[in-house]
Structure 1
Amino acid sequence: MARKYFGTDGVRGRVGQAPITPEFIMRLGHAAGVTLAAREHLPHGERPAVLIGKDTRVSGYMLEAALEAGFAAAGVDVMLAGPVPTPAVAYLTRALRLQAGVVISASHNPFFDNGIKFFSAGGAKLPDAVELEIEQRLEQPMGCVDSARLGRARRIDDAAGRYIEFCKSTFPNELDLRGLRIALDCAHGAAYHIAPAVFHELGAEVVPVGVEPNGLNINDGVGATRPENLRNAVLANAADLGIALDGDGDRLIMVDRAGEIYDGDKLLYVIARARHAEGRLEGVVGTLMSNLGFEHAIGRLGVPFARARVGDRYVLETLHERGWKLGGENSGHIICLDRHTTGDGIVSALQVLAALKQRGEELAGACADLAFYPQRLINVRLSAAFDWQSDRDIAAARASAEAELGDSGRVLLRPSGTEPLLRVMVEGRDATQVERLAEQIAEAVKQASE
Structure 2
Amino acid sequence: MARLFGTDGVRGLANGELTPELALSLAASAARVLAAHDRSHRPVAVVGRDPRASGEMLEAAVVAGLASAGADVLRLGVQPTPAVAYLVGELNADLGVMISASHNPMPDNGIKLFAAGGHKLPDGIEDEIEAGLGAETTRPIGAEIGRVSDVEDALDRYAGHLLGSTPHPLTGLRVVVDCANGAASVVAPEVYRKAGAEVIAIHAEPDGININDGCGSTHLEQLQATVAEHGADLGIAHDGDADRCLAVDGVGEVVDGDQIMAILALAMADAGELADNTLVATVMSNLGLHLAMREHGVTVRTTAVGDRYVLEELRAGGYTLGGEQSGHVVLPGHATTGDGLLTALRLMSRVASSGRSLAELAGVMRRLPQVLVNVRVADKAAVADSDAVREAVDAVEAELGEEGRVLLRPSGTEQLIRVMVEAPAQHTAQTAADRLAGVVSAVS
Whether TM exceeds 0.5 here: the answer is yes
Alignment CA distance shift 1:420-1:112 (3 Å): farther
**1:410 and 2:405 are equivalent in the alignment:** yes
**1:11 and 2:10 are equivalent in the alignment:** yes
Conserved? CA contact 1:31–1:134, under 8 Å: yes
Conserved? CA contact 2:50–2:182, under 8 Å: yes
Conserved? CA contact 2:25–2:134, under 8 Å: no
Match of residue 299 from structure 1: 294
**1:244 and 2:243 are equivalent in the alignment:** no
Give the alignment of 1:134-283 within 5 angstroms. Answer: 134-138=129-133, 140-141=135-136, 144-172=139-167, 175-281=168-274, 282=276, 283=278
Give the alignment of 1:47-446 within 5 angstroms. Answer: 47-138=42-133, 140-141=135-136, 144-172=139-167, 175-281=168-274, 282=276, 283-383=278-378, 387-446=382-441
> Counterparts of 1:41 and 1:355 in 2: how far apart (Å)?
46
- SS of equivalent to 1:52: strand
Conserved? CA contact 2:380–2:416, under 8 Å: no
Structure 2 unpaired stretches of 5+: none
Query: What is the deviation of 1:12?
Result: 0.7
- Using structure 1 for the length normalisation, give the TM-score: 0.94
Conserved? CA contact 1:184–1:244, under 8 Å: yes
Query: What is the deviation of 1:304?
Result: 1.5
> Counterparts of 1:298 and 1:416 in 2: how far apart (Å)?
28
> Counterparts of 2:243 and 2:374 in 1: how far apart (Å)?
26
Which amino acid in 2 is paired with 1:253?
A: L
Which amino acid in 2 is paired with 1:11?
A: V
Alignment CA distance shift 1:280-1:202 (3 Å): closer
Which amino acid in 1 is paired with 2:183?
A: A
Cα deviation, 1:277-325, whole Å, max 9, x if unaligned, reads 1233221001010011101111111121111111111111111111111
- Higher mean C-alpha displacement, 183-192 vs 300-309: 300-309
- SS of equivalent to 1:426: strand
Identity of aligned residues (%): 46
Conserved? CA contact 1:373–1:429, under 8 Å: yes
- SS of equivalent to 1:369: coil
> Counterparts of 2:382 and 2:229 in 1: how far apart (Å)?
51
Conserved? CA contact 2:257–2:329, under 8 Å: yes
> Counterparts of 1:142 and 1:264 in 2: how far apart (Å)?
46
Cα deviation, 1:212-240, whole Å, max 9, x if unaligned, reads 11111110111011111211111122211
- SS of equivalent to 2:117: coil
> Counterparts of 2:381 and 2:239 in 1: how far apart (Å)?
35
Query: What is the deviation of 1:131?
Result: 1.0
Which amino acid in 1 is paired with 2:48?
A: G
Which amino acid in 2 is paired with 1:54?
A: R
Which amino acid in 2 is paired with 1:371?
A: R
Alignment CA distance shift 1:381-1:142 (3 Å): farther
Which amino acid in 2 is paired with 1:346?
A: L
> Counterparts of 1:229 and 1:388 in 2: how far apart (Å)?
42
Which amino acid in 2 is paired with 1:267?
A: I
Which amino acid in 2 is paired with 1:33?
A: A
Count of aligned pairs: 442
Which amino acid in 2 is paired with 1:180?
A: L
> Counterparts of 1:437 and 1:142 in 2: how far apart (Å)?
58
Conserved? CA contact 1:73–1:143, under 8 Å: no
> Counterparts of 1:386 and 1:321 in 2: how far apart (Å)?
30
Conserved? CA contact 2:285–2:325, under 8 Å: yes
Query: What is the deviation of 1:385?
Result: 7.6
Match of residue 448 from structure 1: 443
Which amino acid in 1 is paired with 2:102?
A: S
Which amino acid in 2 is paired with 1:70?
A: G
> Counterparts of 2:111 and 2:138 in 1: how far apart (Å)?
21
- Higher mean C-alpha displacement, 86-95 vs 403-412: 403-412
> Counterparts of 1:404 and 1:147 in 2: how far apart (Å)?
73
Query: What is the deviation of 1:432?
Result: 2.8
> Counterparts of 2:394 and 2:134 in 1: how far apart (Å)?
45
> Counterparts of 1:351 and 1:443 in 2: how far apart (Å)?
44
- Higher mean C-alpha displacement, 59-68 vs 146-155: 146-155
> Counterparts of 1:247 and 1:225 in 2: how far apart (Å)?
10
Query: What is the deviation of 1:138?
Result: 2.0
> Counterparts of 2:233 and 2:248 in 1: how far apart (Å)?
9
> Counterparts of 1:52 and 1:418 in 2: how far apart (Å)?
29
- SS of equivalent to 1:138: coil
Alignment CA distance shift 1:306-1:385 (3 Å): closer
